[in-house]
């Protein structure tokens, strides 16, 4: 913008007829030669503020306005998000059991969406079980997972889990006594031209297919310098009245599948840089989403198979936390930012609690899909954000319509 404005001035000056300007021709030629250097020295315009009046408010994101979420108008309006974790579509796709679990998961998604009518949906990883999908395009199953949300006109975002681009794992019972595998390709949702490939579908392919085919998708492939960690991006929820952000939603790829289960130091530095630019004074609340819990979840976890006592809140505590492989600084950064209110993870199907960690909350979602291990009742974690005054609440909505584990995470 600065370059175009100054360019217009200089070239207008140079093109004026001699009777309209008193600058000699040789000075005009000198201006033309020196213009590139002069333009390079012009300082860039700093990003504008969301109604901050230059007081260090949150800077405008480099994100299209049509990709910004927004509160509905009206007194007491709230912004509601449904979190669907560990759907595991495509599990045992070559059997009768697998497709039936996908149908059961369809039922859960529809039940929760119809009961809660959320403004936004987050798919919190393990959308598909790629290690059970021999076809070359797992996006066919991914598309089925998001179809219930899309058909209702609800926008959504996705983050990767450890199963989404995992390599195909050959079942031992496919091998006959002679050692020759009996190849069994799934047939549901696959065109006649599809063939088995046993190679899996890379994260980039899954995300690009989702984004390119769905106008309601708010997902992103993230900065290329962080690849193969893909789902690293930030969304803003804007006020119903102004262009001010009410909350910032950060999504981080916690690895697994095609590479180790970690949030790298590079991702931690990316978050730190983004948050300092977007929200330098920490005035806007920040909420974090990733699939595999960090090691900090293990530190605050109730003893497995014990009652969930306050200050933790939840209904199932039937296994140990299975955390990321290593901790590379992200938790230190998050814990030092008072603006970070909560972190939401999936991965552990037998946990649905929230526990405080320093000044923020660590929360598990509820196992939503019928794929994956465990036979616990299915449901989804719901979070609700109110604008004036700001508050962050959460509860779990079950497939059968019941609600439990109500909790105020910030007020």
Give the residue numbers spanning the domain of 128: 79-169+198-408
Across the beta sheet with 156-159, the strand order is 156-159, 120-124, 78-84, 379-386, 391-398, 403-410
- Please check the confidence at residue 14 and state whether its pLDDT lies above 70: no
pLDDT band for position 346 (cuts 50, 70, 90): very high
Query: Residue 245 falls within a domain, yes or no?
Result: yes
H or E segment and range at residue 122: strand 120-124
* Cβ-contact 200, 133 below 8 angstroms: yes
Answer left, alpha or beta for residue 303, where phi above 0 means left and psi between -120 and 50 means alpha: beta
Quick check: is 233 in a domain? yes
Asked if pLDDT for residue 26 goes beyond 60, the answer is no
CATH number, residue 94: 3.60.21.10
366 pLDDT above the threshold of 90: yes
Task: Report the SS3 class of residue 134.
Answer: coil
pTM of the model: 0.83
Is the pLDDT higher at 76 or at 359?
A: 359
Instruction: For the chain, count helices (H), then strands (E).
Output: 8, 13
Burial-class residue 20 by CB neighbours within 10 Å (0-12, 13-18, 19+): exposed
Q: Is the residue at 163 inside a domain?
A: yes
pLDDT in tens, 60-113: 344 444 568 999 876 568 999 999 999 999 999 888 899 999 999 999 999 999
* Domain contains 397: yes
Check residue 195 and give its pLDDT.
66
Sign (positive or negative) of CA dihedral 255, 274, 286, 77: negative
Could you tell me the sign of the dihedral formed by the alpha carbons of 189, 194, 195, 201, in that order? negative
Total tally of structural domains belonging to the chain: 1
The percent of residues in the chain predicted with pLDDT above 70, rounded, is 78
- Residue 299 CA neighbour count, 13 Å, CB half: 11
pLDDT at 164 over 70: yes
Residue 241 pLDDT > 70, yes or no? yes
Residue 20 scores a pLDDT above 50: no
Q: Is the pLDDT of residue 128 over 70?
A: yes
- CA dist 301 and 354 (Å) reads 9
Residue with tokens 């039940």: 111
- Number of residues that make up the chain: 411
Give residue 194's pLDDT: 54
pLDDT reported for residue 333: 98
What are the C-alpha distances in Å from 128 to residues 158, 163, 319?
Answer: 12, 7, 22
244-267 average pLDDT score: 96
SS3 at position 1: coil
pLDDT at residue 60, as a whole number: 38
pLDDT of 31 strictly over 90: no
* pLDDT confidence of residue 8: 37
Question: What pLDDT does 290 receive?
Answer: 98
Phi, psi of 43 (to 5 degrees): -70, 145
Residue 28: is its pLDDT beyond 70? no
- pLDDT for res 256: 96
For residue 63, what pLDDT is reported?
46
Q: Average of pLDDT values for 270-296?
A: 97
Report yes or no on 161 lying in a domain. yes
What does the pLDDT look like over 172-223, one tens digit per residue? 877 767 666 666 676 555 554 456 777 778 999 999 999 999 999 999 999 9
In a domain, 54, yes or no: no
Between helix 2-15 and helix 25-41 the angle, nearest 10°, is 180
Helix axes 139-151, 97-116, angle to 10 degrees: 30
| Spatial contact of 145 and 159, defined as CB atoms under 8 Å apart | no
The top-scoring range by mean pLDDT among 65-74, 146-155, 163-172 is 146-155
């Amino acid at each position: 913008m600065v370059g175009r404005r100054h360019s217009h001035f200089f070239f207008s000056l140079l093109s004026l007829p001699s009777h309209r300007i008193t600058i000699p021709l040789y000075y005009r030629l000198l201006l033309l030669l020196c213009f590139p250097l002069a333009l390079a020295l012009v300082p860039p315009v700093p990003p504008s503020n969301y109604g901050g009046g230059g007081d260090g408010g949150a800077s405008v994101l480099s994100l299209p306005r049509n990709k910004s979420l927004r509160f509905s108008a009206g007194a007491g309006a709230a912004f509601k998000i449904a979190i669907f974790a560990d759907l595991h579509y495509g599990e045992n796709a070559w059997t009768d059991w697998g497709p039936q679990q996908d149908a059961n998961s369809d039922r859960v998604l529809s039940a929760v969406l119809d009961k809660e009518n959320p403004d936004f949906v987050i798919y919190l990883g393990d959308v598909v079980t790629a290690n059970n999908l021999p076809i070359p395009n797992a996006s066919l199953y991914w598309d089925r997972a998001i179809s219930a949300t899309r058909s209702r006109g609800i926008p959504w975002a996705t983050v990767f889990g450890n199963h989404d681009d995992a390599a195909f794992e050959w079942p031992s019972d496919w091998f006959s006594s002679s050692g020759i595998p009996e190849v069994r390709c799934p047939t549901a949702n696959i065109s006649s031209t599809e063939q088995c490939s046993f190679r899996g579908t890379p994260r980039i392919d899954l995300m690009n297919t989702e984004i390119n085919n769905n106008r309601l998708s708010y997902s992103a492939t993230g900065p290329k310098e962080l690849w193969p960690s893909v789902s690293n991006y930030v969304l803003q929820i804007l006020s119903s009245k102004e262009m001010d952000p009410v909350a910032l939603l950060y999504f981080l790829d916690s690895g697994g599948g095609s590479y180790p289960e970690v949030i790298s130091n590079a991702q931690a530095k990316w978050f730190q840089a983004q948050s300092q630019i977007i929200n330098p004074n920490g005035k806007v609340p920040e909420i974090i989403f990733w699939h595999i819990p960090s090691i900090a979840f293990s530190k605050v976890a109730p003893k497995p198979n014990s009652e969930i006592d306050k200050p933790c809140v939840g209904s199932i505590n039937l296994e140990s936390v299975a955390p990321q492989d290593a901790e590379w600084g992200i938790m230190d950064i998050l814990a030092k930012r008072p603006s970070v209110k909560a972190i939401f993870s999936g991965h552990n199907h037998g946990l649905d609690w929230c526990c405080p960690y320093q000044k923020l909350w660590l929360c598990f979602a509820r196992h939503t899909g019928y794929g994956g291990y465990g036979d616990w009742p299915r449901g989804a974690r719901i979070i609700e954000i109110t604008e004036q005054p700001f508050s962050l609440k959460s509860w779990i909505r079950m497939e059968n319509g019941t609600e439990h584990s109500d909790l105020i995470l910030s007020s």
